Each structure stands twice: as C-alpha cells, then as structure tokens.
Amino acid sequence: MNRLAQEAVLISLTRRLRERGSWAGETHVQKAAYLVRELLNVPLDFTFILYKHGPFSFELRDELGSMQSDRLLTREAQPPPYGPRLETTTRGEELEERFERTMQKYGPRLDWIADRIANCRVLELERLATAIWVTRQHGEDASVQTRAEALHELKPHVPVEVATEAVQEVDFLIADAREQLNA
Amino acid sequence: MLKKQPEIRDTVHNFIAFDPSEQKVIDSQPFQRLRNIHQLALSYLVYPGASHRRFEHSLGVMELVGRIYDTVTRLDKLTDEIRDVVPQKDSLEDQVSRSLLRLAALCHDLGHLPFSHAAEDELLPEGYDHERMTYEILRCEEMRALWRLMPHKPDPEDIAKIALGPRKLEKLGGDLTFSPWEAILAEMLVGDSFGADRIDYLLRDSIHTGVAYGRFDHHRLIQTLRILPAATTEAGGEQNEAKREPQLGVERGGIESAEGLWLARYFMFSQVYFHPTRLIYDLHLKDFLAAWLEGGQFPVEVNGHLALTDAEVTSAMRSAAKDPGAPGNDSARRILERDHFRVVYQRRPEDSSFEVNAIYRAAEEAFGGKNVRYGGSPKRGDADFPVLDRDGSSIPAISLSSVLANLPVSRDEYVFAPAEQREEIEQWIETERKQIIESAYEAQAAEEDMETDQEGEGT
C-alpha cells in the first residue's frame, strides 16, 4: 500500500470510529490501527512497540501528525479535563474518494473493527490490544492463564482476573475476524 | 579526607560535577570524539557562533537529567497513585536508576556521524542510523571494559534502552517492551515533552546562535515536573486514575514554563534547525560525502566510525574544493565559496507535503537531478503531557493551554536550484504547478489500484 493510500485508510478508519460514537483521540486510532492490522490483515506499515497503553507506534504518531500538518485530519481541543479528538476534514475525505478501490477492499474490515471497538474506552482498548500482543508473543495455543499472567506482568495495573477476561475476548475476536476474512 | 568531586565549567549550567564512573566514560575515546562533532552541523555558516560540539551538550544533558531525576523522585512530589512505580528513595534500585540515567545521558549521542544529523540519510547501509551506531558503541569492547569497572556494573542493553528511548528502539527493532519505570526514565532523557536532551539543546543552541527565542525558564520548569497518572482523555472515561499509566507532566504552576519550552522549540525549528540555507548546506555536504566516502557510505564497524570526525571531513572538503578533478569538487566548492543553491519553491499554506514533493520530482525531471534539491523539516510534535491540577487530578495540557493547542503544525519545505537557474525554474513551477499536482495524485491512485487488483481479495 503506498503512503497516500495508507493515509486514506487512516482517514476512513477515523471517520468510521467517529460515526459510531468513538471519542477518536489518538490512543483510540492507534489501537484501532493495531487491531485492524493484527486481526484483519489490513497492511498498515507501522512498527508497534509495547509502550504506553499497550501497543503503540511512534511511526503512526508521526503519520497522524503529518496528516494534521497536511490538513487531512484536524485535532479538536476539548475543555478540561479531556484530551483532544481527531476529526476528518473535507480535504481528507477527498483523498479517501481518490482511493475508491482501496476502500472497496478494506472498508468492510474497517467497519468490522469500528463496530466492535467504537464504544471502548482507552483502558479497555489498552487491555484488548495488549492481550493480542501477548497472544502474538506466546502463540494462540498458549493457555488463557499463561497469557493473562503475561499481560498482568507487562501491565501491573491490570489485575489478573481482568487480564483473563481480555484474553478470552481476544480469542473470540480472533475467531470472529477469521470468519470475516473468509466471508 | 574525601576527594573533591571533579567539575567542569559550562556555558549553560555553570558547573557540571561528575563521579568516577562518569569520568571513565568522559575520558573514553568514543566520548572524547564528540569534541570534534559540531552540534549543529554546518549551521555556523549561517550563525557564526554555532560552533559548539556534542561534547558539551552531552555533559549538559547529564547534568539536567540528574536534576530532573532528583526533583521528580522527591518524597513530597510523589502521590499515592504513582508511588509504587518509583523505587524507594536511597534504595539500591534508586541509586542504580539514577546512575544508569546519567550514564545514558552521557552516551546518548556517541553514535553521531561527522556533522551530526546533516548527512545521515543515504550515507549508511540499510538498517543503520546514528542511534544504531550508539547502540553498537555501547556494546563495543572498550565500553564493556568500562561498564565492568563500575560499582553497579551496568548492562549496556539497559543504558541503550534509556539513551535511545522507545521511539528510536522502535526503529532498531530492539527490546520493544518498556516497564512503566523504564518508560519514565527514558522520558526524562529523550522524551518529546520534557527530555533533558531537548531542554539542553534548545538552551545551548540558543546561546550559541544568538537566537534568543530558544530561551525559557528551565529552572522553574524542572522544579514543577512531576510523575503523574496519564490524564483523562475521553468523556465518560474511567475515573480511577490509579489504574492509568504514569508519565512525566507538570504542576499547574509550571504550565507557563512548559509553554515557554514548546514555543522555544517552535521558533528554533523554523529559525535555526530548518533554516533554508542550513538545509541546502546539509544537502551539499551530503553530496560531497557521497562522492568522497569509499563506496559512498560511512563505515559502520565501530573503529572505522570513531576514526571519522568533522575535522577529517573538513580537511577533505578543503582539498576537494581546490581540485576540479576530485570527487565531490562541486559540492565542496559550493560550501566553501558559499555558492549554495537558492530557494525556488517554498511550501505554501495550501500545500501538502505530498504536493511539494511532486513539484520537486517534476522539476528534477525537467531540469536534471543535479540541479534540483528538496529539503524540509519533519512534522512538529504535539504537546502531549498531563498537568497536575490544584484538585489533584491529571488534565491534558492541551485542554488547559490555548498556547499549546494552537501551536502551528505545518512543516517548512523547500525546493532548491543553482542561483543562475533560479528565475527560470521558479517561473516553470508557477506555470506547471496545478497540473503537476493533479497528475501526481492520479498516478498514486492508479498505482494503488493496480496493486489492489494484483493482490485480489484474499490478503
């Protein structure tokens, strides 16, 4: 996927999250991008590391910043105590329209992820994304308990029982995503 | 009688004291090499005072990061929410953390190539950059021998993690897992918001260039730094702040000094670091090095890297400039005779980066690759840090400060050409601009459509 097409996918993802009521701050878009790549093979070319609030990409942060600089996205400051939200622009939506075939291919996958996470808060997204991270590290065959303990070790503020629920939910999402890809 | 702790006089911080372990690093060959690496590359051709080196900057960063550590780990600065993340004061972990942090500060720039960032792109093999070189030097035999002599016997991997931070390690593909405490330590040194690296270079570069915009009240800023739970980001978000990961922020009373830092950064980027004349000198230097270096690239084995400094490159440029048959003669001559390329196009408010690049590519095709160059700043980061409000809650700085919320995000980008062709190319761009941009968009969409067709539906 070339860079402009990738930007179009990120605009589309942000728009779909906002349409479904997501706060769509940077963290929401970061986690949505990670999930859509890991679960649905949308080829977003960013390296993720395990950092704040789980898997995080500085490359993606820079890309979102560049897109604001190019007025493809805009950042809406919110009154205290809330963080800013990302919003698409007319210019951004024009770019999305230029990549009609790319959107035909990946649009349903973006809808799928937006449907499932638009209502998730940052802390829920952190747990889900980190549960996928540990599942990738330990393999899908590793027991729920093993992965939940690994998640707790990486994110000590997530209790083991909450980590267990997150891993179980991720197993369900992985199965559901496979069905979506095979549909 | 106790031996007096050694100190060095410094332009910015007056005195910088160091302990015997730090002295071992300062005396090492890799660190002493930084005496011959200009902090701001060829910026001294624009700002004559900008002849300071990475050596004093690295000492300054060590001094500042020690002050930051001592402030944010003070007992009266720790709230219950983050107390368990921070090692107990004066414990072994506390001492080791502080020592590692200061060593990492000393070492964070060891891998810089001659003339710092100026010529890094394209002059190193795939997968290498100055951060990777820093990583290699930290693990070389000379440095390993030093680490073994130190009381805490630091692991170079731990130093690298803090010295490079998550952003650089992401590029290197190193250990990509940061504990909350490791993330905080790295933030103190190389963080986007309050990293000691940034505080020192803004102050130091400002003093040496004579560009006063870079100064801000760093004493007040450091005094008000805190480790805070990440701020609430969304309406309806979970209110239990204790569950949120900590990061470096400021007390409410420090927000003006934080604004000062971000404004200083904005002004220094446009006035100094990405001044168009500095950018084009960097590009001429890169052209010279590509011609002069064996195989067009810097050596990446540690000894070869350490043997090259600005001194060797300057000497080679002076020779090449006098000899029309020497590799890199034209670029060396342009630098030394100040016959640099001139700006023929500057990014307009309505442009995107893609569009400026399209104009550059088209001009390059029309007028020849040797006659057109592109230079630009990276995008500017957002101020993303929490503020400790008077009621004890963490609030995103951007929601409190209209200064931070409205910092310009646009990039500075330029197309350059030789002075004698300036007028011709400027006019050509003006005439062709709209068509160039539309064609570039169409080509990208067509390329992507073809790729999508080839991949088919299954990915």
Contact A49 B177 (CB under 8 A): yes
Chain B CB contacts of A25 below 8 Å = 233-234
CA distances (Å), origin B257, targets B125, B193, B208, B307, B436: 41, 12, 21, 41, 45
Asked if residue B180 lies in contact with residue B85, where contact means CB atoms within 8 angstroms, the answer is yes
Chain B CB contacts of A134 below 8 Å = none
- Give pLDDT tens digits for B347-397: 999 999 999 999 999 999 999 999 999 999 887 677 889 999 888 888 999
Residue with the larger pLDDT of the pair A144 and B449: A144
| A25-34 mean pLDDT | 94
Asked if B439 has any chain A CB less than 8 Å from its own CB, the reply is no
Residue of chain A whose alpha carbon sits nearest to that of B172: A47
**Strand pairing report for B225-229 and B246-251:** antiparallel
Contact B170 A58 (CB under 8 A): yes
**Strand pairing report for B246-251 and B386-388:** parallel
B171: pLDDT strictly greater than 70: yes
Handedness of CA B24, B27, B29, B32 (dihedral sign): positive
Residue with the larger pLDDT of the pair B83 and B436: B436
- Give pLDDT tens digits for B191-213: 989 999 999 999 999 999 999 99
| Separation CA B256–CA B264 (nearest Å) | 12
Chain B CB contacts of A123 below 8 Å = 237-238, 243-244
Highest mean pLDDT among B123-137, B157-171, B240-254: B123-137
Long-range contacts of B14-20 (CB under 8 A, 24+ apart): B16/B59, B16/B60, B16/B62, B16/B63, B17/B63, B18/B59, B18/B62
B169: pLDDT strictly greater than 90: no
pLDDT > 90 fraction of chain B, expressed in percent and rounded: 77
The predicted pLDDT at position A83 comes to: 83
| Separation CA B156–CA B167 (nearest Å) | 18
B144: pLDDT strictly greater than 50: yes
| Separation CA B119–CA A144 (nearest Å) | 49
Asked if B237 has any chain A CB less than 8 Å from its own CB, the reply is yes
| B433-440 mean pLDDT | 97
B239: pLDDT strictly greater than 50: no
B170: pLDDT strictly greater than 70: yes
| B45-69 mean pLDDT | 97
Of A105-109, B52-56, B58-62, B84-88, minimum mean pLDDT range: B84-88
Residue B409 distance to chain A (closest CA, Å) = 5
Pick the residue of B379, B406, B437 with the most A CBs within 10 A to test the interface with A by mutation. B379
| B434-445 mean pLDDT | 96
The predicted pLDDT at position B242 comes to: 39
Whole-prediction pTM? 0.89
Asked if B238 has any chain A CB less than 8 Å from its own CB, the reply is yes
Question: Chain B, 259-288: which have a CB under 8 Å from a chain A CB?
Answer: none
Instruction: Assess if residue B158 is contained within a domain.
Output: yes
Contact B451 A1 (CB under 8 A): yes
Pick the residue of B170, B171, B357, B390 with the most A CBs within 10 A to test the interface with A by mutation. B170
Chain A CB contacts of B389 below 8 Å = 80-81
Instruction: Assess if residue B378 is contained within a domain.
Output: no
Residue with the larger pLDDT of the pair A82 and B283: B283
Residue B149 burial (10 A CB sphere; 0-12, 13-18, 19+): exposed
Residue A123 distance to chain B (closest CA, Å) = 8
Handedness of CA B72, B75, B81, B84 (dihedral sign): positive
Which residue intervals of B73-91 are DSSP H helices?
80-83
pLDDT confidence band for B451 (50 / 70 / 90): confident
Residue A112 distance to chain B (closest CA, Å) = 16
The predicted pLDDT at position B437 comes to: 97
Task: For helices B310-322 and B276-292, give the axis angle rounded to 10 degrees.
Answer: 80
B327: pLDDT strictly greater than 60: yes
Contact A122 B233 (CB under 8 A): yes
Nearest to B379 among A28, A53, A62 (CB): A62
| Separation CA B89–CA B71 (nearest Å) | 12
* Amino acid at the residue B23: Q
Of A50-59, B7-16, B41-50, B240-249, minimum mean pLDDT range: B240-249
Chain A CB contacts of B381 below 8 Å = 65
Residue B374 distance to chain A (closest CA, Å) = 17
Which residue from A32, A163, A83, A30 is spatially nearest to B384, judged by alpha carbons? A83
Pick the residue of B86, B171, B352, B412 with the most A CBs within 10 A to test the interface with A by mutation. B352
A36: pLDDT strictly greater than 70: yes
The predicted pLDDT at position B84 comes to: 84
* Amino acid at the residue B283: L
Handedness of CA B67, B73, B76, B82 (dihedral sign): positive
The predicted pLDDT at position B237 comes to: 53
Contact B230 A53 (CB under 8 A): yes
Contact B234 A121 (CB under 8 A): yes
The predicted pLDDT at position B1 comes to: 63
**Strand pairing report for B14-17 and B7-10:** antiparallel
Question: Chain B, 107-136: which have a CB under 8 Å from a chain A CB?
Answer: none
CA distances (Å), origin B450, targets A107, A108, B94, B344: 18, 20, 57, 34
Asked if B353 has any chain A CB less than 8 Å from its own CB, the reply is yes
The predicted pLDDT at position B232 comes to: 63
SS3 B228: strand
Instruction: Assess if residue B289 is contained within a domain.
Output: no
CB pairs under 8 A between A and B: 153
What lies within 8 Å, CB to CB, of A5 at 6+ separation is: A99, A102, B444, B445, B448
Instruction: Assess if residue B434 is contained within a domain.
Output: no
Asked if B378 has any chain A CB less than 8 Å from its own CB, the reply is yes
Of A13-22, B169-178, B238-247, B277-286, minimum mean pLDDT range: B238-247
- Give pLDDT tens digits for A78-135: 888 888 899 999 999 999 999 999 999 999 999 999 999 999 988 899 999 999 999 9
The predicted pLDDT at position B176 comes to: 61
Asked if residue B208 lies in contact with residue B55, where contact means CB atoms within 8 angstroms, the answer is no
CATH code of B13's domain: 1.10.3210.10
Residue B450 distance to chain A (closest CA, Å) = 10
The predicted pLDDT at position B118 comes to: 62
Asked if residue A87 lies in contact with residue A73, where contact means CB atoms within 8 angstroms, the answer is yes
Residue of chain A whose alpha carbon sits nearest to that of B81: A157
Chain B CB contacts of A50 below 8 Å = 176-178
B258: pLDDT strictly greater than 80: yes
Nearest to A70 among B167, B353, B444 (CB): B353
Question: How many domains, in total, are found in chain B?
Answer: 1
Residue A8 distance to chain B (closest CA, Å) = 11
ipTM score of the complex? 0.88
Which residue from B393, B348, B345, B398 is spatially nearest to B372, judged by alpha carbons? B345
Nearest to B448 among A2, A28, A48 (CB): A2
Nearest to A66 among B353, B400, B451 (CB): B353
Nearest to A69 among B166, B178, B411 (CB): B411
Asked if B379 has any chain A CB less than 8 Å from its own CB, the reply is yes
Nearest to B166 among A51, A80, A156 (CB): A51
The predicted pLDDT at position B459 comes to: 41
B328: pLDDT strictly greater than 90: yes
The predicted pLDDT at position B22 comes to: 97
What lies within 8 Å, CB to CB, of A133 at 6+ separation is: A48, A50, A54, A55, A154
The predicted pLDDT at position B235 comes to: 64
pLDDT confidence band for B175 (50 / 70 / 90): low
Average pLDDT over chain B, rounded to an integer: 91
**Measured at the alpha carbon of residue A51, what is the angle toward residues A48 and A57, in degrees to the nearest 5?**
30
The predicted pLDDT at position B126 comes to: 86
Q: Which domain holds residue B150?
A: 8-210
The predicted pLDDT at position B119 comes to: 61
Contact A123 B237 (CB under 8 A): yes
The predicted pLDDT at position B456 comes to: 62
